[in-house]
Structure 1
Amino acid sequence: MEAVFGLLLMLLGVSHGVETSFCDGRQDGAQCFRPLGESVALRLMDDASKLSRYQWFKNHTIILNGRKNHVMSNLMENSSSFSPSDGIFRIDNLSRTDAGEYTLHSFDLRGQKLELRSLQLTIQAPVSSVLLVSECLSQGGMRVSCSSEGADGPQYSWTLDGHTLTEAQLLSGNKDSNNITLRQDVSGQLDCSVSNHISRMSTCGFRLTDCSLFNGTHLSQRLLVSSESWCTKPTADTVASSVDHSLLICGLRAAVVTLILTGIAACYVWRKKKYETAEGSAAPGGMDQENSVVMVEMRSSASEL
């Protein structure tokens, strides 16, 4: 069972373990964003054997020192490895201390510097949850706040009925900020999304309440979405799909019940015929009894003679 489940995950493109992300550092000024705890493979060069000597610095400290295919030293050897054949430097279990500016220095046979390239590695925590809070204001309108946990450098965006919120629909605030105040006449399904360079999470949103119906009464709503929960918004397509799916299930169940009843009936008929056949063969009457009487009469006639 576990083997079948593993094969299914492989076919679906799902793998266990830590994900490895690749970043091309062969261009000067490359920027890489990676999540905490995962691994990264940094492509520093095509082939180290073509370089007489190379050094890789992090914030003015030599991390890697090598000559062609030979790695002379690696300051991060406990958490990293370097492959000279393809020029990939791999760092496992990324931490915040791994972030920073890395610089590659390469030299020719005469010791003269060939190239100088820099790479900026940024480590971020992904968005783990989003909290959406709305509040009716006494003067009309609605204040809405969107906050997140865990994310480094979060960016916020708003949609109303699936369309990007416009400045004309706001009483105050910015559509790219996490706190906005909507005009009183704005209605629809409001959603908030929080993202950074490595992750994105959206709330299920909620239908805006007409605050004027409460005559200034304070009203607030809270909606929390985390990485352990999700929601789907029903549409006409999904409803139709659900109905079709239910009809299919009912049809299959009816077919199974029909097959079971047919099998029971066939078994009953077969057993009844078998019983009648066995009963008929065991009866004392019939041709055997008549033959016995004839034989007795023949023996009686012979004795008289």
Structure 2
Amino acid sequence: MEQVVILLLMLAGVTHVAETKCSHTQNTTLCSVPPGEPVFVQVINNASNHQVRCNKQLPSGSMKVFVLMKEKVTIYEPFRNRTEFFINNGTFKMTNLERNDSGQYIIEVFDSNGVFVKEMNIQLNVQEQAFPLLIPVCAGAGALLLLMLVLVSCCVCRHRKKSGSRI
């Protein structure tokens, strides 16, 4: 019985999907995130005294996401109220991701003199993962197992009572 309780507690703990942190080891980074979850991308260790531009590529061109210039971050629609850029650690954060947020993001970094430092390409995939589907299946299997254990326990107890009354 303890094993069933432990299993159910473990399954309950799995229902929360942790925030996604995408690190860049090359010029292109692939990030897969479930809808509604946040994503963090560290662009540079410290963006102080830097200029940073982030654009989302569209079939018809590009759309501005944010710009860091003179220590001021400007976030553009439709990313406002769900996007942040942290100057002190150079991290880009987007929350409440939706499927239409999927796509390629290009982040360019320049030094304080406007000299190009680096470019990052981030391929963001916002899609349902198969993992959440396992939760109801496992919970159902756990409930079925619990029911079977209760029935077996009842049968064993009933059998012992009958055996004990004959002696």
Fold conserved between structures, TM > 0.5: yes
Deviation of the 1:19 alpha carbon: 3.9
Q: Deviations over 1:189-211 (max 9, x none)?
A: xxxxxxxxxx2756xxxxxxxxx
Identity of aligned residues (%): 25
2:56 to 55, 58, 65: 58
The 3 A distance-change label for structure 1 pair 52 and 87 is closer
Greater relative contact order (CA < 8 Å, ≥ 6 in sequence): 2
The 3 A distance-change label for structure 1 pair 109 and 118 is same
Q: Does the CA contact (< 8 Å) of 2:19 and 2:39 recur in 1?
A: yes
Q: Which residue of 2 aligns with 1:47?
A: 46
Deviation of the 1:36 alpha carbon: 1.0
The 3 A distance-change label for structure 1 pair 228 and 79 is farther
Structure 1 residues without counterparts, runs of 5 or longer:
1-8, 128-198, 203-224, 233-237, 251-305
SS of the aligned residue for 2:100 comes to helix
Deviation of the 1:53 alpha carbon: 1.1
SS of the aligned residue for 1:97 comes to helix
Cα distance in 2 for residues equivalent to 1:16 and 1:69: 39
The 3 A distance-change label for structure 1 pair 74 and 88 is same
The 3 A distance-change label for structure 1 pair 55 and 85 is same
The 3 A distance-change label for structure 1 pair 68 and 87 is farther
Cα distance in 1 for residues equivalent to 2:15 and 2:141: 24
Cα distance in 2 for residues equivalent to 1:98 and 1:227: 29
Q: Which residue of 1 aligns with 2:20?
A: 21
Q: Which residue of 2 aligns with 1:299?
A: none
Supply the AA of the counterpart residue of 2:53: Q
> What count of residue pairs does the alignment treat as equivalent?
135
The farther-off stretch of 31-40 and 104-113 is: 104-113
Cα distance in 2 for residues equivalent to 1:52 and 1:104: 13
Cα distance in 2 for residues equivalent to 1:26 and 1:55: 19
Q: Which residue of 1 aligns with 2:97?
A: 94
Cα distance in 2 for residues equivalent to 1:16 and 1:42: 24
Structure 2 residues without counterparts, runs of 5 or longer:
1-8, 158-167
Q: CA RMSD in A?
A: 3.7
Larger Rg: 1
Deviation of the 1:18 alpha carbon: 7.2
Cα distance in 1 for residues equivalent to 2:13 and 2:136: 21
The 3 A distance-change label for structure 1 pair 87 and 52 is closer
The 3 A distance-change label for structure 1 pair 41 and 52 is closer
Q: Deviations over 1:160-198 (max 9, x none)?
A: xxxxxxxxxxxxxxxxxxxxxxxxxxxxxxxxxxxxxxx
Q: Does the CA contact (< 8 Å) of 1:100 and 1:120 recur in 2?
A: yes
Q: Does the CA contact (< 8 Å) of 1:63 and 1:74 recur in 2?
A: yes
Q: Does the CA contact (< 8 Å) of 1:68 and 1:84 recur in 2?
A: no
Supply the AA of the counterpart residue of 2:75: N
Cα distance in 1 for residues equivalent to 2:71 and 2:46: 9
